[in-house]
Amino acid sequence: MTLQTSDAGKLVVLLTDTTDADQVQGAFKARKKEMSMAALIPGLAVNVEAAYNDQHDLVAKSVKFKGNDLDALRPFKPACTKRRYKLSNSRRN
C-alpha cells in the first residue's frame, strides 16, 4: 500500500495476512470493527502501526480508519440495481 504522508511524502507499507484492518467507531474512537483489506480504498485517511522487517521493508501491523471517511469515499449505490429495457428494432430488412 502506498501512503501519502504530510511530512515524508509517499511511503510504501506492506500488508500481510497478519495485518489488522479496523474501522474505529464511537465519539472517542474507542470501539473498533474488524474489516477486510478490501475496505482500504484509494483516498482513505488511515493510521498505520508498522515496523521494519529483516529485509528493511516497512510492514503494517494494523491499519485503522474512520467509518465516516470510508462512507464518504464509497460510490453511491443506486436504489434499483436491475432495470429492464424494452428495445425496439428500428431497422427492419
Domain range summary for the chain, segments of one domain joined by +:
2-73
| Residue 79 banded pLDDT, cuts 50, 70, 90 | low
- Phi and psi torsions of 83, nearest 5°: -130, 145
- Please tell me the pTM assigned to this model: 0.69
Q: Is the model's pLDDT at 87 over the cut of 60?
A: no
pLDDT band at 27 (very low <50, low <70, confident <90, very high): low
Comparing 81 with 43, which gets the higher pLDDT?
43
For residue 74, the model assigns a pLDDT of 73
Count CA atoms within 13 Å of residue 19 on its CB side: 21
Please report which residue ranges of the chain form alpha helices under DSSP H: 67-73
